[in-house]
Amino acid sequence: MGKKITIGIFCLLQSTFFVVAASNDWASEIIEYTSGENVPFGYTNASAALWHASGITDFEGSNTAVSVINPPWQNNQIVSVGTGGKLILKMGKRVNNYDEPEHPFGIDLLVYGNTFFVYDYNEGLPETNTWYTSSEEPAEIWVSADLTNWFIVTNCYADALLPTQSIDINGEPSDYLYPPSPDLLSNDWFDGTWSYSNTVAVYDGSAGGAPVDLSQLKAADGEATNLSYINYVKIENPISENAAEIDAIAAVAEIPEPFYLSFIIYHFLFISRKLIQ
């Protein structure tokens, strides 16, 4: 009985730790929200943009996996930033600007929206049925370390490329903290060759999102700059007549940590075994 309780508490601690650790990777606090104009009714709940991006959404009455053709759309999943609107969120932890290898492709932050690729239903299943447009509603992404000095992201927009994909090509869960290649931002998605299968394949296990590199920023005076870290993200929409939707904002996971850790653990075990022998 005592042992069971101990194991139970241990598991509880483990799962609590897991939840807390996972949460820190996401936007965790609303600093400011102004809906702006042209916002769909009911889509003004800014807390929908906090924590983990959506993995499932309703489709004709049943839960289905979020994908590049099936975006999150429920008003507890996304918040709209209309024309003249603004959403400022604090990240759950400091987001560092790293290059390879700590951050794949040098991408530091991922902004998830609800864009999707559009294909002609009349031409059959989406696996090989090519995209002819997307539902993008681009909004500016700004970042700040101190909530005073803001810098605009120059390499991508929110609620544009890339649509969210919750499962990989094998149907396994995508990694929402692993960035897609930023080369995909300049890909010609509508050249008649891109459909579900090859799109998901080039995501390479990432879940998509707008891939932000903190080395590709501009100051208010237009000068190119970078930041070594940020704590705040602002989505602003002076561009689009349509409201942009935000699902979540994630810090990219640092790659080498587990490798270093496993390296240390391996050597610790190796030395311990030698000592015991």
Q: Interface residues with Ca ion (CB under 5 A)?
A: 97, 106, 108, 114, 137, 159, 213-215, 245
Q: Phi/psi of residue 238, each to 5°?
A: -90, -5
Minimum CB separation of residue 103 from Ca ion in Å reads 5
In the sheet that 248-251 helps form, which strands lie side by side, from edge to edge?
A: 210-212, 109-112, 248-251
Q: 46 vs 214, which CB is nearer to Ca ion? A: 214
User: CB of residue 113 vs Ca ion: minimum separation in angstroms?
Assistant: 6
Between 122 and 186, CB nearer to Ca ion: 186
Listed in sequence order, the residues at least 6 apart from 159 whose beta carbon sits closer than 8 Å to its beta carbon are 111, 113, 114, 115, 136, 137, 138, 139, 210, 244, 245, 246
First to last CA, the chain: 36
Q: Is the CB of 38 or the CB of 187 nearer to Ca ion?
A: 38
Taking the least distance from each CB to Ca ion, the nearer of 96 and 129 is: 96
Report in angstroms how near the CB of residue 265 gets to Ca ion at its nearest.
28
CA angle 144, 174, 177 (to 5 degrees): 20
Long-range contacts of 15-24 (CB under 8 A, 24+ apart): 22/52, 23/51, 23/52, 23/92, 24/92, 24/93, 24/251
Q: Compute and round to an integer the Cα radius of gyration of the chain.
A: 21
Give min distance, CB of 226 to Ca ion, in A.
Answer: 8
- State in angstroms the smallest separation of the CB of 195 from Ca ion: 21
Shortest Å distance, C-beta 180 to Ca ion = 14
Answer for the pair 130, 195: CB distance below 8 angstroms, yes or no: yes
| Residue 62 near residue 206, CB atoms below 8 Å | no
Phi, psi (degrees; rounded to nearest 5) at 223: -80, 135
- Interatomic CA distance for residues 43 and 174, integer angstroms: 26
CA angle 46, 103, 266 (to 5 degrees): 120
- At closest approach, how far in Å is the CB of 229 from Ca ion? 10
Q: Which is nearer to Ca ion, 168 or 254 (CB)?
A: 254
- Minimum CB distance to Ca ion smaller for 92 or for 163: 163
Which residue, 35 or 215, is less far from Ca ion as judged by CB? 215
